[in-house]
Amino acid sequence: MGVSLSVGLSLCLSDHYPTSCVVVADPEDYQPPIWKSYLYRLQQEAPRPKRMTCPQEMETRPKYYGREFHGMLSREYADELLGGAEGAYLVRESQRQPGTHTLALRFGHQTLNYRLFYDGKHFVGEKRFETVHDLVTDGLITLYIETKAAEYIAKMTTNPIYEHLGYTSLLKDKMEHRLSRGRTEPRRVTFQREDSKITTSPLVRHSTLKDCPSEKQSSYDKIHNFKVHTFRGPHWCEYCANFMWGLIAQGVHCSDCGLNVHKQCSKLVPSDCQPDLRRIKKVFSCDLTTLVKAHNTTRPMVVDMCIKEIELRGLQSEGLYRVSGFSEHIEDVRLAFDRDGEKADISANVYNDINIIAGALKLYLRDLPIPVITFHVYSRFIQAAKIPNPDTRLEAIHEGLLQLPPAHYETLRYLMMHLKKVTMFEKDNFMNSENLGIVFGPTLMQPPEQNALATLNDMRHQKLIIQLLIEHEDVLF
């Protein structure tokens, strides 16, 4: 079976990793790592399973077991039947707990007994198997490798190849270059009164600001979306370069960028996921940071395209964002973005009613798995809204903004700039900052735990936060 690695690296087996790894800036200079073969060889040496069949038909045999089921046996008799052959196994009904089943397995010159379960698949631990034979095969591999290479496994993450991989640095450098051209760095500001009155100016209203060095480094870091994965054919960990052993669920796979690593190595991988567009199945309901990294943009294209269309032909529309468009047409817009991405046509030729575009934008923001104002800063903003002093309240809101992930910060900043423009046409659209706060509060802010009473109590605070973000967007961002 061939090796199928997400990064397309060639396979070269060696017991040692080269010490002359150099990070490269040009993909043509990239040299693939040398994969370590020690654990692969151990898997090849592991004992093979030997099914000990029962010579007679057992009437009490469950339908999901085969001839390896021997009925009710004692541990001693099961040990005798296995005959000391490494890898030999059978299934028996427990004498101590009738109605339960035990896998008796010969390994390491002793008989090991495991409580055996079935829920449509066979299992003794986390992994689930189609057959008992596959379970035993995987178990023997794991037992053998963990017995022979316990010290090696414990140390295999101490000299990772991950940071040396040329393709990792290359992708990161390209992404940072693209993003640095369009993103806005969060500013740290302070709000103060002068002569008991808040200073005013044409550019900065209701406050004066002093620029301070930002403690937040703006970077589009993203954690990997790891899920347990079964690899077909030999696979090597792209963090430590060691073989991923076992028959199934040998490691974890990032569903956004395709990185394959051991489960234990996944805890050490940096938050530098570079999503692959081919793996992003939809636009709506997709994590915000994942989407912008996949498209190499600072904001989701849905936000940019909808706002551009609304500002082109909808700023004077009465009840903008308050009046709903037809839900079927809003759903059509969602499907268009999921299908066509940035090529989706949302022009007046297709959707003459601007409320459809406004509704699609609200739907996109509402359906984010992590809201624009993220769960982990939600309570910080709610507490800020409760502060009676206006200056202190704005400082608290500003501190909360600095805690947002960069993609969320940039999306919120751009949206607030747009909503400020909407309020400038209040005489036509009848939408002031308070009205927009009522509309967008529950859309942009959601409590971590869905408690109906708490959500109801927080609504006025959500409204106030969005209202203040709109009114003071030139200062807060």
Closest CA relative to residue 307, chosen from 231, 387, 364: 364
Point out which residues pair with 88 in neighbouring strands: 50
- Residues 98, 393: Cα–Cα separation, whole Å: 67
Q: What is the pTM of this model?
A: 0.58
Q: Residue 213's pLDDT is what?
A: 33
- Residues 209, 220: Cα–Cα separation, whole Å: 27
CA Rg value for the chain = 30
Q: Residue 189's pLDDT is what?
A: 60
- 224 near 257, Cβ under 8 Å? yes
Residues 6+ apart with CB under 8 A from 24: 30, 31, 166, 169, 170
Centre a 10 Å sphere on the Cβ of residue 412 and count the other Cβ atoms it contains.
23
Centre a 10 Å sphere on the Cβ of residue 240 and count the other Cβ atoms it contains.
24
Closest CA relative to residue 27, chosen from 9, 14, 13, 11: 9
Q: Residue 326's pLDDT is what?
A: 94
Q: Residue 190's pLDDT is what?
A: 60
Q: Residue 358's pLDDT is what?
A: 97
- 244 near 145, Cβ under 8 Å? no
Domains, the chain, in order of start with CATH, read: 50-153 (3.30.505.10), 226-274 (3.30.60.20), 281-476 (1.10.555.10)
Q: What are the pLDDT tens digits along the chain (477 aa)? A: 333 333 333 333 334 333 333 333 444 444 555 678 899 999 999 999 999 999 988 888 999 999 999 999 999 999 999 988 999 999 999 988 889 999 999 999 999 999 999 999 999 999 999 999 999 999 999 999 999 999 999 888 887 877 655 434 444 444 444 444 444 556 666 655 444 333 433 333 333 333 333 333 334 677 888 999 998 888 889 888 899 999 999 999 988 888 899 999 999 888 888 877 777 778 999 889 888 888 888 999 999 999 999 999 999 999 999 999 999 999 999 999 999 989 999 999 999 999 999 999 999 999 999 999 999 999 999 999 999 999 999 999 999 999 999 999 999 999 999 999 999 999 999 999 999 999 999 999 999 887 777 778 899 999 999 999 999 999 999
Point out which residues pair with 94 in neighbouring strands: 73
Q: Residue 328's pLDDT is what?
A: 95
What is the 3-state secondary structure of 38-104? HHHHHHHHCCCCEECCCCCCCCCCCCCCCCCEEEEECHHHHHHHHCCCCCEEEEEEECCCCCCEEEE
Beta pairing class for 69-73 and 50-51? unpaired
Beta pairing class for 226-229 and 260-261? unpaired
Residue with tokens 């995987």: 138
> Which tokens hold the place of 58?
């057992």
Q: Residue 6's pLDDT is what?
A: 33
- Residues 120, 195: Cα–Cα separation, whole Å: 75
Q: Residue 17's pLDDT is what?
A: 35
